[in-house]
Copies of this chain bind each other. A is one copy, B any other.
């Protein structure tokens, strides 16, 4: 049944800054990646703000790093027009930064229900409209937008786009020609459980898989947000999912994004990077 899946190309490893965010600045992360031979980095905007996009772009370039994504835009739903416009404005700034960085994509986290709302269909419509509003700008700036479906446990407060199918429906609606301007970020933590995962990765295809994020699902998981596991410590069949993503034609980076308050965030980031490199071989 299961063919042997070869190990991944170590040159495709990328560090999402969330993984070592507690103890390193973006400068330290870039230098750390260079030191450990990790060739990609994907900053969150809080870290980017420390350096500014221009300086960060130069530092990444000087250290031989590709910027595999910028985290994050999105967060479209809001209780009123003012809030929705503020979100659009923030997304335009994120697109500018992503362009300056030469990021492979801007990751979009949809946003959850506006405060006090139970109207999930309404929130989803705001997401669709919001992406529609910024898509031309992103295209002009040369920044592909990657809709990241988040695990359904974040539906209320972080993202009401919760499956790859739903994200791809948005892509179909907003970019039916599949120009490359709009696609998805596949994060194993969010989608590993999905019975449709293989089929939807295939449906996404090479032009729409814009990022691939890895970590692991721990058993037990003790916190909804901050208890992700290092690859290999949980139950996700990372090799298999990578084989599907590669089968769909994806040749991009494997970005390690681990939110882990009680474990990985407390460790020496150099140790974390060493372990990431080692564990990546089994992914």
Contact = CB atoms under 8 A, between A and B. Distances in A.
Interface size class of A (residues with CB under 8 A): 20 to 34
Most B Cβ at <10 Å: residue of A192, A195, A220: A195
14 contacts: A113-B219, A113-B235, A118-B235, A118-B236, A124-B195, A151-B152, A152-B153, A152-B193, A153-B221, A156-B234, A157-B219, A160-B193, A162-B194, A162-B195
A129 interface: no
B194 A237 contact: no
Contacts of A157: 219-220
Interface in A116-135: 117-120, 124
Nearest to A191: B152
Nearest to A124: B195
Interface string A141-152: 000000000011
Interface string A85-127: 0000000000000000000000000000100011110001000
B193 A237 contact: no
